[in-house]
Amino acid sequence: MGFNVCLQRTSDGALAVYHDDDAWSETADYQWGEGNLSCDCNRRLYFARTRKEPEDWDADCSEGSYRVLWIKDDRGQFIPGWEEPVEERT
Ligand SMILES: [Zn+2]
């Protein structure tokens, strides 16, 4: 079972739900929380790829341009620690 990561581009609120075929794991948790996927460098690429937009490989490293709204497994269950932020619920 894979998982889905909802990425939001904070500049305009646009969303992309990236699907990963691999099972959620401690490694994935680390990657998205603190590792390579915690800053904008890679989130930007995943976001563009998911939306089939051109990929920008030259942008500087930053944080906060892309944020994870939630991560769910393929059954639609939130991954613990990655639930939808309270302010996003309606
Ligand atoms: Zn970076």
Residue 48 has pLDDT above 80, yes or no: yes
- For ion ligand 1, residues whose CB falls within 5 Å: 39, 41, 61
Residue 88 has pLDDT above 60, yes or no: no
CA angle 9, 75, 49 (to 5 degrees): 30
pTM of the complete model: 0.91
Domain of residue 31: give its range: 3-88
User: In the chain, how many domains are there?
Assistant: 1
CA distance 27 to 81: 14
**From the CA of 72, how far away is ligand 1's center (Å)?**
24
